[in-house]
Structure 1
Amino acid sequence: MLFIKTFTRSICTGKYSFAAEKSLLAALRKKTGYTFANCKKALEMHDNDLNRAELWLKSQAQALGWSKATKLEGRHTAQGLIGVAVNQYSGVMVEVNCETDFVARNKEFQSMVEDATKCCLRYIESQQKPQENVAKFSLDTEQLKGLHSENDGKSLADKLALMIGTVGENATLKQGLGLKTCEGIHLVGYAHPAGHVENGLQLGKLGGLLAYRSLGEGNDHIEIAKGICQHIVGMRPTKIGNNDDKPAPNKDEETCLIHQEYLLDDSVTVKELLEQNQLEIVDFKRLECGEIVSSIGKQPLEFVETCQ
């Protein structure tokens, strides 16, 4: 009778132990997303301690990511996405490149662009507000890599390496552009084709930022400003222009913003639209994914107050 009780107890204990281990394994896989074999190994190495197993898995993944990133470094990256984010006084555009458009549609890659954009926006927010007009910023690859995520404290360099290890393709943090305004100057941003993410962050192949001043009353200028920002992305103006600039003989070759036909209504020019809605453009920036960088990436951080 004693033998039967002991044998029965051992069977029950074994079943319980197996069920507990299975539950831990399922929890670790759900939390980390790593393979069955890797999660099983992590738990075995750390006596079924879920937290220690998770930390070990993440450290191994990070090491593998850096190793793969080093091997893939130098491979051409012409595809990718631009992240655009704006709050009351700060706006940024961040370009992250990859090798193929297939990876640019990958959730891991898009999450990397979101992280980089949020980090850059937080950095611009921390800078001193200009006393007047607009302060312009540019961050090169190394400066972007040095920014840290607010969520987990990791540098963007570490996050990029981990992402490269996941997607198996080279990727680069190419550049970041930012505008910071003073009181009375508003900001809007636009990405095309627009993919709206949380808190107004947008992802696209093209991006634009517009700083403008309302000369009238009320807040009904926002949609007009968004339309002008969309126009800037689509029509590629090279400068705002003023009354001394004469319109180009061929309207299709016009690069002065105020003299261009408005993209959303070609019956008016941008200048006429601004006058009708009592708006003044202070500054704008446009970014195209894969565009050749001239000064950005070679210059240190800029901080320049401008008055257009």
Structure 2
Amino acid sequence: MANVTAAMVKDLREKTGAGMMDCKNALGETAGDIEAAIDWLRKKGLSKAAKKSGRIAAEGLVAVHVHGLEGVAVEVNSETDFVARNADFQALAGNIARVAVETGTTEAEALKAAPYPGGGTVGDAIANAIATIGENMTLRRAAAVQVAQGVVGQYVHNAVAEGLGKIGVLVALDSKGDRSSLAPLGRLIALHIAAANPLALDSSDLDPAIVARERAVLEGKNAGKPAHVLEKIVESGLKSYYKEVCLLDQPSIHAEHTGKTIGQAVKDAEKAAGASVSVKAFVRYALGEGIEKQETDFAAEVAAAGGQI
């Protein structure tokens, strides 16, 4: 049996809201596997967590840049939040996003080798910023969306400057329709994505492993029921899950779309656009998601600094 530590129990409690002993039992039953323990608790009905969100720990900025029918989002990390308010760092993040659009490059290592405005490469610019500002910085990731016709909508949450903030969203709307009506629609959908954090466009776009995991949880929670009843319960549960995590199935957060899903809102917008409208892709970057910052014991640090330990 795995050695279940207090820190592991604390982590599981924070992720699920379950009781301490339930968390300890779950970790014991799953050999200390946090993800498996989350599912174990859900199957027992002891956790309300529908999906795990990555802990936001890293600092820096998310930058988005749209040019014509293509948009790029990049995440540039730093050690402290103070750097996000530094004009040089803001210029660096914004320029990297523009370079990504201009070169069509989103793979991190290739993007670092791309030419940077004023000379050198993106990698050189990052190294120079590290030397100037005095903090370690990394280009973590980049992603692009594009359409052959239509618009790319964008939204930045907690913006510190144009196109720079804590959450950046891009959404690609494919349509031959009126761009003046498509642009505000794109922004509304991007704002919805920032708030609702969908995992995929629709159920067919979901990672099969995610669907299989959700199915297993539903089957575990309803174990013992007749097969034909169990299947109906599982399918109903999956439909509810899709409404939570699939963009086109999610209820819109906007008052003007009250009672409608994003898919229905897009369909309604076709009349004003004068043509069919299709959501082709989206990107949502939240600063530091999935990166765990090392937690330190401040009291221990002070004691160590004073030579007490």
- Counterpart of 1:255, as a letter, is V
- Summarize the Cα distance change of 1:159–1:249 in structure 2 as closer, same or farther, 3 Å threshold: same
The C-alpha deviation readout for 1:30-53, integer Å capped at 9, x for no partner, is xxxxxxxxxxxxxxxxxxxxxxxx
List per-residue Cα deviations over 1:241-281 (Å, max 9, x = no partner).
Answer: 26999786758971011221112224322122112112321
Structure 2: gaps of 5 or more residues: 1-56, 206-234, 271-276, 292-309
Deviation at 1:119, TM superposition (A): 1.1
Residue 252 to residue 176, structure 1, CA distance change in 2 (3 Å): closer
Q: After the TM superposition, which residues 156-195 of structure 1 pair with which residues of structure 2 at under 5 Å, given as runs?
A: 156-182=122-148, 184-195=149-160
Seen in structure 2, the aligned counterparts of structure 1 residues 243 and 160 have a Cα distance that, compared at 3 Å, is closer
Segments of 5+ residues of structure 1 without an aligned counterpart are 1-76, 125-136, 294-308
Distance 2:97 2:179 in 1: 30
Following the alignment from structure 1 to structure 2, what is the Cα–Cα distance between the partners of residues 185 and 80?
A: 31
SS at match of 2:260: strand
Distance across 2 between alignment mates of 1:277 and 1:242: 22
Aligned CA distance change for structure 1 residues 229 and 218 (closer, same or farther; 3 Å): closer
Tell me which residue corresponds to 1:55: none
Quote the residue 1:238 is aligned against.
199
Aligned counterpart, 1:205: 166
Deviation at 1:116, TM superposition (A): 0.9
Report the AA paired with residue 154 of structure 2: G
Distance 2:123 2:153 in 1: 28
Correspondence for 2:103 among 108, 112, 123: 123
Q: Which residue of 1 aligns with 2:188?
A: 227
Q: Which letter does structure 1 place at the counterpart of 2:254?
A: L
Q: Which has the higher strand share?
A: 1
Q: 1:291 aligns with which of 286, 289, 292?
A: 289
Matched residue type, 1:261:
P
- Are 2:74 and 2:96, in contact at CA under 8 Å, matched by a contact in 1? yes
**1:16 corresponds to:** none
Q: Distance in 2 between matches of 1:255 and 1:211?
A: 18
Q: Which residue of 2 aligns with 1:297?
A: none
Does the 8 Å contact 1:147/1:156 carry over to 2? yes
- Decide whether the 8 Å contact of 2:151 with 2:179 is kept in 1: no
In structure 1, what is the Cα distance between the partners aligned to 2:201 and 2:110? 29
Larger relative helix fraction? 2
C-alpha change, 1:243 and 1:217, in structure 2 (3 Å) is farther
Mapped partners of 2:204, 2:111: distance in 1: 39
Q: 1:108 aligns with which of 66, 88, 112?
A: 88
Given candidates 104, 113, 117, the residue that maps to 1:146 is 113
TM-score (norm 1): 0.58
Larger radius of gyration: 1
3-state DSSP of counterpart to 2:288:
coil
**Distance between the aligned counterparts of 2:202 and 2:281, measured in 1?**
11
The offset of 1:218, in angstroms, is 6.1
Identity %: 30
Partner of 2:44: none
* Partners of 1:85 and 1:218 in 2: CA distance: 18
Alpha-carbon distance, 1:144 to partner: 2.2
- Offset from partner CA, 1:175-230 (integer Å, 9 cap, x none): 11112322x24212221123443xxxx00111111111236556312101110011
Q: Judging changes above 3 Å, is the alpha-carbon distance between structure 1 residues 120 and 108 closer, same or farther for their aligned structure 2 residues?
A: same
Structure 2 residue aligned with 1:267, among 215, 240, 259? Answer: 259
* Amino acid across the alignment from 1:159: A
Conserved? CA contact 2:151–2:182, under 8 Å: no
Give the Cα separation in 2 of the matches to 1:203 and 1:82: 6
Residues 254 and 80 of structure 1: CA distance in aligned 2, closer, same or farther (over 3 Å): same
The one-letter code of the counterpart of 2:194 is: V
- Write the distance in 1 (CA, Å) between the matches of 2:201 and 2:106: 20
The 1:229/1:153 distance shift into structure 2, 3 A limit, reads: same
Tell me, yes or no, if the aligned pair for 1:93 and 1:178 is still in contact at 8 Å.
yes
Equivalents in 2 of 1:229, 1:121: separation in Å? 19
Q: What is the identity, as a one-letter code, of the residue corresponding to 2:284?
A: R
Q: How many residues align?
A: 198
CA contact (8 A) 2:174 2:279 kept: yes
Structure 1 residues 271 and 246, CA gap change in structure 2 (3 angstroms): farther
